[in-house]
Structure 1
Amino acid sequence: MDITNAVQATVSAAPLTLAVVVASDREGRFAPVITDWFRSRLAEREDFTVTVVDLAEVDLPTSLSYRPSPAVSAELAKVAPVLEAADAFVVVTPEYNHSFPASLKNLIDRHYTEWQAKPVGFVSYGGISGGLRAVEQLRQVYAEMHAVTVRDTVSFHHAHGLFDEDGRHKDPAGAEGAAKALLDQLGWWGRALKDAKSVRPYGA
């Protein structure tokens, strides 16, 4: 194996840095239950290292400015480096009024290159649709960010009834299978894009 192939093999073998974005910032949200369950799935894998961006802990104002105030800049400094360092993303999102939370759109719109040429997966929850209408809109938004959304999702329909009072899924087999499919696809795309960018920067 020559030096180039050895370097590429090392890049391929290294765990991917995965940023889990928790979209809801509402008081009384169900997001922690879904996020904790998903993180339990990630704990069983060795191909990802995980960081969490919880939008309930980031105070980004809703108005956008080309010249952010020092306060806004300080809040952006909490999340921008995490997004930049990530090789892949999973967005944990509810569905609000057939769409996704404004807090998530705010985060997306304040960043650009941080999303580029990286894969994005979705874990959604809601009522009868399981949050899938929010996911379909997010696919369009992330396409504009030059991100690649993976096909398979994890969706929880009537989510509140699926977990017990301790946050354990009552019948986890189907959801665990969906999570494995999502993470397998995310890993493939994450590794493929990371390897490609190590040879040629995106857009070059």
Structure 2
Amino acid sequence: MKVLIFLGSTRESQPPKPSRLGARVATALLSHFKEEYADDDVELIDPLDYPTGEVFKPHFAYASGSAPKELDALADKIQRADAYVMVSPEYNHSLSPALAHLLNHFGSSLYAYKPSLIVTYSAGQWGGVRAAIGMRAFLSELGCLPVSAMIHVPRAADVLDSEGQCHPQQNTEKWKSYWQRGSSQLLWWAEAVRQHREVVDPHKLIGNFTHDPQQRNAPD
């Protein structure tokens, strides 16, 4: 199973303090997947590793062979993945602009017919839960429908250290059980979808929107 964990943060400066709190959450989840599902291929996708530029230009808008090689590589990873984990803070009760910016560089057909797991966090008490509600619609439009289990990490700096490990005062086993609920559901759906995709290719059955926005239109 191929799983991509998307980190929805590019803020390295302070405030907030500590900076890039989401890196702790994403690292904790990466460790969880590697410990619990050793046979799976799990990779952390950090938006700072990809040249998305100040002016938005999606990967599919480049002429053939002219896209940055990093975006080509990420497009291939997204297409080959079986499932996604989306890690986001909350901005104005919505998902991270950094996460939306990175995901929107790629067409929905790359994400389609695969499940996703929503993970949110915050420095305060709510754990980004309001952002998670909006993420359901956003990810559904990409075609990677979120599983019903969600993970929320309130006061993330008090839960996880800079290495993504639970602080000593935390109940590590309870947090592991909490991660497990989301990851188990994600991988159950990913396996089911992959098996059915081998029987019926949904891209051939339904078709992708590839050349004209009017493909979405109702008949005249």
Shorter-chain-normalised TM-score: which range?
0.7 to 0.9
Partner of 1:114: 110
1:17 aligns to what? 2
With normalisation by structure 1, the TM-score equals 0.83
Distance 2:66 2:144 in 1: 28
Q: Does 1:145 align with 2:139?
A: no
Structure 1 residues 71 and 105: alpha-carbon distance in aligned structure 2, compared to 1, 3 A threshold:
farther
Runs of 4+ in 1 over 4 A off after TM superposition: 69-72, 164-167
Pairwise CA distance, 1:71: 7.3
Q: CA deviation at 1:19?
A: 0.7
The one-letter code of the counterpart of 2:198 is S
The Cα of 1:142 is off from its aligned counterpart by 1.2
Alignment match, 2:62: 68
User: Does structure 1 residue 177 correspond to structure 2 residue 177?
Assistant: yes
Match of residue 129 from structure 1: 126
Find the counterpart in structure 1 of residue 85 from structure 2. 90
Q: Deviations over 1:40-75 (max 9, x none)?
A: 211222352212211121121352367337875434
Distance 1:195 1:165, change over 3 A: closer
Structure 1: stretches of 5+ with no match in the other structure:
1-15
User: Which one of the candidate residues 90, 96, 99 is aligned to 2:94?
Assistant: 99
TM-aligned CA distance change 1:166 to 1:185, over 3 Å: closer
Task: Give me the CA root mean square deviation.
Answer: 2.1
Partner of 1:44: 35
The answer to whether the 8 Å contact 2:24/2:161 transfers is no
Partner of 2:35, secondary structure, is: coil
For residues 156 and 165 of structure 2, what CA distance do their matches in structure 1 show? 12
Structure 2 residue ranges without an equivalent (≥5): 13-18, 206-220
Secondary structure at 2:202's aligned position in 1?
A: coil
The offset of 1:163, in angstroms, is: 2.7
Judging by fraction of residues, say which structure has more strand: 1
Whether contact under 8 Å (1:154, 1:175) holds in the other structure is no
- 1:90 is paired with a residue of what secondary structure? strand
CA contact (8 A) 1:26 1:56 kept: no
Q: Identity across aligned pairs (percent)?
A: 24
In the alignment, what sits opposite 1:160? 157
Count of residues in correspondence between the two structures:
189
Partners of 1:60 and 1:72 within 8 A in 2: no
User: Normalising by the residue count of structure 2, what TM-score does the alignment of the two structures yield?
Assistant: 0.78
1:21-40 map, 5 Å: 21-27=6-12, 28-40=19-31
Deviates more, 1:141-150 or 1:169-178: 169-178
